[in-house]
Chains A and B, each alone.
Chain A
Amino acid sequence: MPQAALHKEAGRCPEEGLAAARIRREAFEWQVTLWSGEVTDAEQRDFESWLRADVRHQAAWRQVERVGQQLHVVPSEVAAPVHQALLATRGQRRVALRSVAGLTVAGVVAWMVGETPPWQIATAVYSTGRGERREEVLPDGTRITLNTATSVDLRFDASERRIVLRSGEIFITTAPDRGLTHRPFVLETEEGRVRPLGTRFAVRHLGGALPSATLVQVVEGAVELAPDGGSMPVRLDAGQKARFTRQGVAHVLQADEAEAAWTRGLLVANRMRLSDFLGELGRYRSGVLRCDPAVADLVVSGVYPLADTDAVLVALAQALPLRVNSVTRYWVTVAAK
């Protein structure tokens, strides 16, 4: 019995590999036949009997079919002109480096010349749970990325484009409104308004702070901060960040690019205090993540994937003299080893 099993095992690799390759090839050929647009009844029957003949045929066919479905995620009437247009640009790959200039925003709103189409008037609510991240393209081409535990309302009407940040953090890449009437863009929080001037920026609502505050970081372009209390608006340029409450804007600081790494699913720590690091990591987890004061001042550096915060904790405990105590997954304390 063991001998027979061994024998079978030994014979498996090359032969079965060959068989699998042959079957896959057959599945490809059937796909080609079925896509001809002129399948005969005989072909259809042959295909069906091939499929029935072997479970491995069915498995191979399912895979081929799935690839076919992926090709048609986009309806043909849209995909056809897209690929047609792309054919014309294919040779341009080589000159891409020289011709990126001018293309950055042109793409986003090419058809918006003219009146604001009715479907551009939109209201919506977007939200994410803890540890979730979500990207959306708004009707005007503006891109937003919602960080963990975030809720925003979208209110686009004929006169303005307004986003209300209820909680959490959002990264915005604005697109110019190419409608006849240029609709201003405004982001609103409990503390006031942020008006972008063609830009990429992040806004985080610090609901837990006292008083509650809004943190704004500008990556590109500039924004204007208008606290609700009525103090003078403050302009914030690329590379700067500032925190404001209803009463006014606190001093403007140099922004750290790493702070926007969450838009790529990463937490970048550049000589961060452990307690700050865990505070940041805790935003992406449910439950309590506590830092023992004895190790609060340890220094953490590195790039950490936000998708799996448990793995980050494990890695942290390996790299630093730390112990991770989990009472449950929702009650975790990081302490000295």
Chain B
Amino acid sequence: MLAVEAVSQREQVGALYSNHHGWLHAWLRRRLGDGHHVADLAHDTYLRVIISGRTPSEQEARPHLLQIAKGLVIDRYRRQVIEQAYLEALAHQPEPLVPSAEEQAMALEALMRIDAVLGELPAKVRNTFLLSQFNGLTYSEIAVRQGIALATVRKYMLKAVEACFDALAGAAR
């Protein structure tokens, strides 16, 4: 996102803003109630449009804004759910575990990324992968527990490994 583009894009985004911001704000408020960062979400929606460098035509403006806004709401919601689960997990450790604020932020980022990968996997694959990676079960134990063949466990794991790689290899650097 270079400033030049932002400048040349200015009028288009300006029109998008003046014609639809009130409507978007009202839509979000209707769905989410007052508060709940409605103004923020509306603002972030426009920021996404600016950053994407693609301003929708007048006809597709509202569907486009709505699509972005819904994505943002879901992201935010998912983040809260993950954060809650993480803090509860921390709180329930037998040994008190006190990660620094930095470690917590990193952990949350990691959990978000993994959650996104898992979300794309079929339920059986996901469960197999979770049992193996986070519950420490061997493939034989998973096969028994899930009532599937050992070869199927391996097949599911391969699928999960591929998905993780596709999603996370970029972030690994």
Contacts and interface: CB of A to CB of B under 8 A. Distances in A.
A89 B82 CA distance: 10
B160 to A, nearest CB: 9
Given A100-B36, A220-B37, A137 B84 contact: no
Nearest to A37: B138
Contacts of B92: 81, 111
B81 A67 contact: no
A63 B137 CA distance: 24
A82 B85 contact: yes
B12 interface: no
A70 B171 contact: yes
A199 B136 CA distance: 42
Contact of B85 (A77, A81, A138, A315): A81
A70 B111 CA distance: 10
A165 B101 CA distance: 18
A85 B133 CA distance: 15
A45 interface: no
A71 interface: yes
A137 B101 contact: yes
B57 interface: no
A3 interface: no
B1 A303 contact: yes
Interface of B: 1-4, 6-8, 10, 31-33, 35-37, 39-40, 43-44, 47, 50-51, 70, 73-74, 76-78, 80-93, 96-98, 101-102, 104-107, 110-111, 113-115, 118-119, 126-127, 130, 132-141, 154, 157-158, 161-162, 164-165, 168-169, 171-172
20 contacts: A35-B133, A35-B157, A66-B169, A70-B168, A73-B106, A73-B107, A74-B110, A75-B97, A86-B115, A96-B74, A97-B32, A100-B36, A101-B32, A107-B84, A111-B91, A135-B105, A136-B101, A138-B101, A219-B40, A303-B51
A304 B6 contact: yes
A219 B2 CA distance: 27
Contacts of B43: 257
A215 interface: no
B93 A100 contact: no
Nearest to B91: A111
A316 B5 CA distance: 11
Interface string A257-288: 10001001010000000000000000000000
A70 B158 CA distance: 17
Contacts of B141: 37
Contact of B132 (A37, A85, A311): A37
Contacts of A138: 101
B91 A110 contact: yes
B98 to A, nearest CB: 5
A136 B87 contact: no
Nearest to A93: B74
A67 B165 contact: yes
A76 B115 contact: no
A79 interface: yes
A266 B160 CA distance: 36
Contacts of B168: 67, 70-71
Given A137-B104, A302-B10, A311 B2 contact: yes
A327 interface: no
Contacts of A110: 84, 87-88, 91
Interface in A47-82: 63-64, 66-67, 69-82
Contacts of B126: 87
A257 B157 CA distance: 47
A103 B78 CA distance: 10
B134 A80 contact: yes
Interface stretch (A11-19, A26-34, A181-189): A26-34
B39 to A, nearest CB: 7
A182 B70 CA distance: 35
